[in-house]
Chain A
Amino acid sequence: MTAYTATVTVRLKRGVLDPEAETTQQALERLGFELSDLRSADRFEVDLEAADADEAADRAGEMAERLLANPTIHDYDVAVAER
């Protein structure tokens, strides 16, 4: 078994309104920053032991499917690195 960190990034699907991101963008613009757009995402770093990177990614993907993301509104991706 090898120790991995699986990073699961959950973001709203393109086209789904993100009021929090819009509010954040407006606040940045009030501070004088110039930006074209801003998107927010949730990142989960999951430490786990697995036989190989594929297994670690599969398990983290299942975590996203079953809890971390809501498939109605979210997309997600998984990146795995040895810890």
Chain B
Amino acid sequence: MTVAVVQFGGSNCDRDAVRALAHLGVDAERVWHEDGLPADTEGIVLPGGFSYGDYLRAGAMAARAPIMKEVREAAADGVPVIGVCNGAQIGAESGLTAGAFTTNASARFQCEPVHLRVERADTPWTAAYDEGDVIEVPIAHGEGRFEIDEAAHADLVAEGRVLFRYCDADGNVTDAANPNGSTDNVAGVLGERETVAVLMPHPERATLPDLGRSTDGAGILQAFA
């Protein structure tokens, strides 16, 4: 499988994603957005960063880049697509997933480890975990507060498309464990297909054993293995 890590101007987690995937034995390459998706693309990562300087809204510009039409088509065909951090903002802006990611309740950029509760274990992204597992993965964002209107949120929950919620170390989903004021502590969601997911925390920063305090994120990227 060749995973395309789509690089926009201002992406800065693209190399990290390629390295984390290589560590898991996944063939991944960076793809400049203007070059379009390679014909042999079998997986897509929308990496973190500050595409287009977060102008207008985080992810708004990249979501309208021509390559995103290809990404949406690939996603509709069942190609696994994951958006991480800025990639999550791009994914939500482009309609791959419901809701929006906007300014943290703190109005600050926050860079810290958080705990996530795995809400679904029967997806490609979470097959390495059990439902209810607590994993530690870092966040690094200023606009990560998940916002969605009430009706769409009810649908999201009813359809089981909440993938991760912010929680404490024991798995309790509390206001105190919600780093950014996200609706219902939502940290990551599935798209219409379970092969499409976005999340604000960075699994590629919690994959390499020498990099930090956790390798809990590896299970998410193993979807591509």
- Chain A residues close to B by CB (< 8 Å): 16-20, 22-23, 66-68, 70, 72-73
A22: which B residues are within 8 A, CB to CB?
Answer: 107
Say whether B60 contacts A67, CB under 8 Å: yes
Say whether A72 contacts B105, CB under 8 Å: no
Say whether A67 contacts B64, CB under 8 Å: yes
Say whether B60 contacts A17, CB under 8 Å: no
Helix, strand, loop or mixed for chain B's interface?
A: loop
Q: How far is the CB of B150 from chain A (nearest CB, A)?
A: 10
Q: How far is the CB of A48 from chain B (nearest CB, A)?
A: 19
Q: How far is the CB of A80 from chain B (nearest CB, A)?
A: 21
Interface check B93, CB cutoff 8 A: yes
Interface check B57, CB cutoff 8 A: yes
Say whether A73 contacts B107, CB under 8 Å: no
Interface centre among A18, A20, A68, A70 (most CB of B within 10 A): A70
**How would residues 41 to 70 of chain B score, 1 for a CB under 8 Å from any chain A CB and 0 otherwise?**
000000000000000110010001000000
Interface check B77, CB cutoff 8 A: no
User: Once the chains are docked, how many angstroms separate the CA of A79 from the CA of B105?
Assistant: 31
Say whether B107 contacts A23, CB under 8 Å: yes
A16: which B residues are within 8 A, CB to CB?
Answer: 102, 147
B60: which A residues are within 8 A, CB to CB?
Answer: 67, 70
Total interface residues in chain B, CB < 8 Å: 21
Q: How far is the CB of A21 from chain B (nearest CB, A)?
A: 9
In-complex Cβ contact of B147 among A20, A23, A72 (8 A): A72
B107: which A residues are within 8 A, CB to CB?
Answer: 19-20, 22-23
Q: How far is the CB of A44 from chain B (nearest CB, A)?
A: 9
The 7 closest A-B pairs by CB, nearest first: A19-B107, A72-B100, A23-B107, A19-B103, A73-B100, A73-B147, A70-B100
Say whether A70 contacts B57, CB under 8 Å: yes
Interface check B83, CB cutoff 8 A: no
User: Once the chains are docked, how many angstroms separate the CA of A67 from the CA of B60?
Assistant: 7
Say whether B106 contacts A68, CB under 8 Å: no
B window 67-114: CB within 8 A of A? 92-93, 98-100, 102-107
Q: How far is the CB of B125 from chain A (nearest CB, A)?
A: 23
B147: which A residues are within 8 A, CB to CB?
Answer: 16-17, 72-73
A17: which B residues are within 8 A, CB to CB?
Answer: 105, 145, 147, 181
Say whether A72 contacts B106, CB under 8 Å: no
User: Once the chains are docked, how many angstroms separate the CA of A37 from the CA of B116?
Assistant: 35
Interface check B128, CB cutoff 8 A: no
Interface centre among B102, B104, B147 (most CB of A within 10 A): B102
A72 (CB) vs chain B CBs: closest residue: B100
User: Once the chains are docked, how many angstroms separate the CA of A17 from the CA of B145?
Assistant: 10
A18: which B residues are within 8 A, CB to CB?
Answer: 103
